[in-house]
């Protein structure tokens, strides 16, 4: 699998720690570390020791190093010569810029998905909308809710059919989710925010590009307002 941003959807449930049958060891290490960095299980500034991670994940050090390079290109880790690799910092001041970029690109991706998604993907979108409705009442952890949010976004990005748009949006969604995770304990339950995705997924599946863009714009605005309310 060449592009790591698609892993949370294509590899199945991101809450499952086991390696998927179609996953390389480097992909598995990337997926696990990416999740830990995004939800801040690995804290900003924390060192990442490839030997310790290799033992913890049961993966050789070479795949760990490959995963680290990809994480560095995603701006989730930073490497310093002779010092090592560290989780990148989270700066609340980046919220406005990240939100501005997402306000431009997220509605475009949703509208494009509504226009261009294949019949198979439209069925997947409908099925996932139903799954989200079933999962929400059962998820108590704010972090698990955030992981579900990430799955929805990645499916929409994939449905857009644009590799370049998908790659950009995965990167910015990761950065936005890290900011969200930084203040997650201060936020009210985010289940209502994530429930907005059900109608959005159904609109995309139905080919309603205008409604998809409008709902996405509102969703991104609500995200920024939720964060600013607790700052």
Q: Can you tell me the distance from the alpha carbon of 149 to that of 146, in angstroms, rounded to the nearest whole number?
A: 5
**How confident is the model at residue 200, as a pLDDT?**
97
Q: Can you tell me the distance from the alpha carbon of 34 to that of 13, in angstroms, rounded to the nearest whole number?
A: 14
**pLDDT tens track, the chain, 231 positions:** 333 333 333 344 444 456 766 789 999 999 999 999 999 999 999 999 999 999 999 999 999 999 999 999 999 999 999 899 999 999 999 999 999 999 999 999 999 999 999 999 999 999 999 999 999 999 888 888 889 999 999 999 999 999 999 999 999 999 999 999 999 888 888 898 899 999 999 999 999 999 999 999 999 999 899 899 888
Q: How many CB atoms lie within 10 A of CB 186?
A: 11
Using only C-alpha atoms, what is the Rg of the chain? 17
**How confident is the model at residue 230, as a pLDDT?**
87
Cα–Cα nearest to 96, from 223, 213, 197, 230: 223
Q: What is the pTM of this model?
A: 0.85
Q: Phi and psi dihedrals of 85, rounded to 5? A: -115, 140
Contact of 212 with 113, CB cutoff 8 Å: yes
| Residue with token string 């950009």 | 168
Q: Strand 77-80 vs strand 84-87: parallel, antiparallel, or unpaired?
A: antiparallel
Distances (CA, A) of 109 to 84, 130, 132, 154, 178: 37, 21, 20, 11, 21
Contact of 84 with 93, CB cutoff 8 Å: no
């Amino acid at each position: 699998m060449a592009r790591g941003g698609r892993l949370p959807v294509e590899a199945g449930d991101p809450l499952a720690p086991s390696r998927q049958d179609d996953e390389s060891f480097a992909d598995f290490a990337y997926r696990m570390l990416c999740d830990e960095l995004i939800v801040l299980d690995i804290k900003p500034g924390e060192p990442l020791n490839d030997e310790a991670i290799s033992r913890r994940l049961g993966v050789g050090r070479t795949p760990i190093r490959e995963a680290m390079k990809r994480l560095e290109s995603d701006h989730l880790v930073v490497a310093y010569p002779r010092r090592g690799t560290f989780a990148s910092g989270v700066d609340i001041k980046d919220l406005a810029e990240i939100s501005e970029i997402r306000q431009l690109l997220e509605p475009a991706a949703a509208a494009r998905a509504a226009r261009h998604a294949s019949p198979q993907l439209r069925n997947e979108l409908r099925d996932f909308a139903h799954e989200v409705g079933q999962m929400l009442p059962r998820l108590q952890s704010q972090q698990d809710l955030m992981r579900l949010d990430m799955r929805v976004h990645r499916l929409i990005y994939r449905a857009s059919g644009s590799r370049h748009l998908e790659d950009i949006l995965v990167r910015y969604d990761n950065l936005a989710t890290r900011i969200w995770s930084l203040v997650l304990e201060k936020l009210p339950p985010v289940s209502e925010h994530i429930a907005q995705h059900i109608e959005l997924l159904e609109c995309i599946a139905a080919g309603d590009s205008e409604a998809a863009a409008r709902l996405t714009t509102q969703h991104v605005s609500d995200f920024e307002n939720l964060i600013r309310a607790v700052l």
